[in-house]
Amino acid sequence: MRVALLTEGGYPFARGESVLWCDRLVRGLGGHEFELYALSRSPRQEQAGWCDLPQNVRHVRTAPLWGEPPVHVPCADGTAARGITGRRERRRFAECFAELAAAICTPAADGDEPDRADRTGPTAAERFAAGLHGLADLARDHGGLPDAIRSELAVRVLESACRAPGALRAAHAAQVSDLLAVVDRLERALRPLSLDWLDEGPGSAGLGDADLCHAVGGGPAALAGLLATRAYGTPLLITEYGVRLREHYLASTPLPAQAGGVGPGGAAPGVRPADARQPVRALLASFQGRLAHEAYARAQLITPGNTHARRWQERCGARRERLRTVYPGMDAEPFTEVGEAVMDVPAGGSDGDTPGCGGRSRPTLLWVGRVEPAKDLVALLHAFSEVRHALPGARLRIVSTGLGTAPDAAAYAAHLRALAAHLFPDEAADTRSVGENPVVFEEIGGPAAPTLADAYAGGTVAVLSSVVEGFPVSLVEAMFCARATVSTDVGAVCEVIGGTGLVVPPRNPRALADACLALLRDPARRTRLGAAARARALELFTVEQNVEAFRGIYLELMSRSTRAPAALDVDGAPVPFAQPAESHVPGRWASTARPPAALASATASPRPAGLRSPAHARAAQPATVHGPSWARHAASGTPAVGVRPGQEDPA
């Protein structure tokens, strides 16, 4: 089948979240053809280029969510863009934007089904959907919305909605600068409405000819899928390993001093100073919630990465029967050698025995991850202080995989080093030895930890001390390496370890120290927990189980699809058996499949508006790479799949 993969800030760019997951999914489902529609978040991400693309990627289209608004694209009928300039168009825009703004400014009702208490008129969710799709139609008819959304008219409409009775309390206090900041962020988030990604027809390389839209996230990436579902009935699948609304809250609301204000993995864009005011945060959070509710309502299936994300999605309006948890797949191969290096623990083993580390070694606590305030390494250092009092020979390795995206991440890392030097002065075994600090700061790729597997091989117990966490990747890596773990009860931690490790409350250094001491003093218990953890990780969190889950989901969605018939006769009636069975095989295997000659005139006849293109009419096209779609600029020629713009075809 032909799958349109919609991403934001990730694949196919070399930098960003979910890049590895998307690449493994596309490569694992080699029998399907993929089309990539990617939204970039920063110029830095675009400058990093693309990762190598597999051969089953037909084409790529990209568009930025940063910088100045794009130029107008041609209208849906192919005429030159006129923009929202006429009196009629401005009135229509004001009506649609007023519906959207009114929904954003309306407080969400409590309960599983928001806005159901007031049935005297349309609910806020219905008004949001009407405004959103009305703006999409306006953009398609007149060549884009950026200028209109940034106009004085939009600011006045939003101001009226903020001042209306019953609006959000924070919205009443919005000043002109706040309104300008909100419309600027709305323009960026709504840019997918102005893209020309809905092209339809044989060889069009657009969403109108895709069999399935798979959106990675329920934010702007899902907007194009919503339009395709509304226009052509294309099934929409949404995969979220970090709920966008939750990430927005974490990125926009400062946490306590130790926790910082950064979402897990930096998945949400950073917050600018203009967005720090309460009215701006409240309005943007309401927009994210309304957008998520609309995306969940239109999607045929939603696949959260864990139960923690699933609860957030249900709170945002997702129906339980459309939710199916699919754990993210991780590559277990690099950790196989470490995980299988099991050492027999002698009866009555002592404190320092570390299975898989080549015999007796110093008891070592290991922390691996990105250094940022949300990881609460300050609490870990204080907990290790108590561990050192009980086990003077213990040491702590803090292995960094990079700095977080918080503005103060570098300062936080420097503060940790200063705190470690204060709590643990360099100690020497005797008067002739050089003193050393029991806390060691390392980086992946350095001499002590060339790879992640090497880092975990040198640890006795893996520790996670976060106060904010989504899916704990470092815990799964430690489980692949058969290491016992101590972690704080945040995010999906309990769901991931499933009883194969110790869990303590966050921000509790004493409880963290007690749990670490319990494992450091009991080698047999560590061995049992490590073996159980590895078995659980290999069963639930591998790439293979993730790919097979989506293979079945794709086929299930296609079997339940209610899309338009593939072939119609001259009167617009379906033609039975017009599409041979072999045409359902991926295009490169059945590129010669054609309908009977007698049906040529029927399939070439005009089709009613909104019906999808015949699947058998898709000729095998070489992969093409498109630049920003609003400029309708395609790369010259037809470069091979996986070749970045500017590179020559290796063939």
Burial of 150 (0-12, 13-18, 19+ CB in 10 A): middle
CA dist., res. 262 & res. 296, Å (int): 25
CA dist., res. 582 & res. 605, Å (int): 23
Torsion 183-128-153-286 (CA) sign: negative
H helices within 106-175, ranges in order?
Answer: 124-142, 146-149, 152-163, 169-172
pLDDT at position 495: 94
DSSP E strand stretches across 439-515: 439-443, 461-464, 484-488, 502-504
Separation of CA 464 from chain center: 22
C-beta neighbour count of 256 within 10 angstroms? 11
Which phi-psi region, left, alpha or beta, contains residue 51 (left: φ > 0; alpha: ψ -120 to 50)? beta
CA dist., res. 495 & res. 364, Å (int): 25
CA dist., res. 63 & res. 41, Å (int): 9
Amino acid letter, 533: A
CA dist., res. 82 & res. 142, Å (int): 6
CA dist., res. 498 & res. 356, Å (int): 23
Q: Coil, helix or strand for 15?
A: coil
Q: Scanning the structure block, which residue is given the tokens 């029927």?
A: 602
Structure tokens that stand for 620 in this block:
């095998």
Q: Coil, helix or strand for 323?
A: strand
Could you tell me the pTM of the whole model?
0.79
Residue of 41, 43, 48, 63 whose CA lies nearest to 15: 48
CA dist., res. 42 & res. 6, Å (int): 17
CA dist., res. 391 & res. 513, Å (int): 11
- 302 with 98: CB under 8 angstroms? no
Separation of CA 267 from chain center: 7
Distances (CA, A) of 506 to 176, 373, 423, 488, 521: 40, 13, 21, 5, 23
pLDDT at position 554: 94
Structure tokens that stand for 485 in this block:
């773990």
Query: Which regions of the chain are under pLDDT 70?
Result: 15-17, 69-83, 109-120, 199-205, 252-276, 342-360, 405-407, 427-435, 562-651
Amino acid letter, 492: A
Distances (CA, A) of 420 to 382, 414, 423, 433, 509: 9, 10, 5, 21, 15
Separation of CA 13 from chain center: 13
Strands of the 364-371 sheet, one edge to the other: 439-443, 395-403, 364-371, 461-464, 484-488, 502-504
Structure tokens that stand for 384 in this block:
């290790």
CA dist., res. 468 & res. 376, Å (int): 9
Task: List the Cα angle 385/386/388 in 5-degree steps.
Answer: 65
pLDDT at position 83: 65
DSSP E strand stretches across 31-100: 33-40, 57-64
CA dist., res. 448 & res. 460, Å (int): 15
Torsion 141-146-152-156 (CA) sign: positive
Separation of CA 26 from chain center: 16
Burial of 521 (0-12, 13-18, 19+ CB in 10 A): middle
**Maximum separation of any 2 CA atoms in the chain, in Å:** 98
Contact residues for 212 (Cβ-Cβ < 8 A; gap 6+):
1, 2, 3, 4, 234, 235, 237, 554, 557, 558
Strands of the 301-304 sheet, one edge to the other: 301-304, 236-240, 212-216, 2-8, 33-40, 57-64, 624-628
- 284 with 182: CB under 8 angstroms? yes
Q: Within a 13 Å sphere around the CA of 234, how many CA atoms are in the beta-carbon half?
A: 33
Helix then strand then coil, % of the chain, to nearest 5:
45, 15, 45
Structure tokens that stand for 85 in this block:
């300039």
Structure tokens that stand for 310 in this block:
């699933």
